[in-house]
Structure 1
Amino acid sequence: MKVLIAEDEPISNLWLKNTLTRWGYEVISTRNGYEAWEVLKRIDPPGVVILDWEMPKMKGTEVCEKIREDPRISDRTYIILITGRDLSEDIELGFKAGADDYLKKPFDNQRLKAKLETARRTLEL
């Protein structure tokens, strides 16, 4: 399965890319929401998009909204927001923007693996 990562923090971006690659995913890595959106417009949409909430140029929630407005991408893409935000209002905003799931930073391998497995099963339906 193809996964697009949009994470502006270099160490987190590299960790996600290396971890997902090791698990057998085809990974496309970007450094901000704008880059992620540009990639999404050009390629066959990945099954999963992992978006950091707070990024320069375009926030993760803005990318969510753009994905959900584009029928070519929306129906075939599972979106996971990663965030340090923990308030229920923030989580609600993420879901309203179009996220399917979220991970609170810092997160561990097992939780990430479980979220990706949920994404895979959902997309297979």
Structure 2
Amino acid sequence: MKVLIAEDEPISNLWLKNTLTRWGYEVISTRNGREAWEVLEGSEPPGVAILDWEMPKMKGTEVCEKVRKDPRLSNIYIILITGRDLTEDMEAGFKAGADDYLKKPFDNRKLKTTLETAGKILGL
């Protein structure tokens, strides 16, 4: 399964890329929201997008909203990752179009389980 990572913090980006590659995912790594959107609107968008909330050029929630407005991209499973943990933040993330929400720092098992769930949903 192809997974997009949009994370502006270089060490977190590299960690996510290496972890997902080790788990057998095909990874596309970007450093800001605009780059992520360019990948998503491309000819072969990934099935899953892991988007950091706070990124330069376009926030993860803005990318979510753009994806959800594009009928061609309606099946992309979006995982929003963030340090925000207030109920209002989670609500805003889901309203923007996220399918799942992971609070940083998150446990590898939670990330792996979330990706496995995304794969099952996309396979339906």
Structure 1: any 5+ residue segments left out of the alignment?
none
Hey, what does 2:9 align to over in structure 1?
9
Q: Deviations over 1:7-47 (max 9, x none)?
A: 00000000000000010000000001010001111231211
Per-residue CA distance 1:55-113 (angstroms, 9 max, x = gap) = 01100000000000111112x20000000000000000000000000110001210100
Percent identity over the alignment is: 82
Instruction: Return structure 1 stretches of 4+ with deviation > 2 angstroms.
Output: none
CA distance in 1, matches of 2:106, 2:94: 19
Name the TM-score, length of structure 1 as normaliser.
0.97
Give the alignment of 1:40-119 within 5 angstroms: 40-74=40-74, 76-119=75-118
The number of equivalent residue pairs is 124
Question: Separation in 2 of the partners of 1:14 and 1:108?
Answer: 16
Amino acid at match of 2:52: D
Aligned-pair RMSD on alpha carbons?
Answer: 0.7
SS state at 2:98 partner: coil
Q: What TM-score does the superposition give when structure 2 sets the normalisation length?
A: 0.98
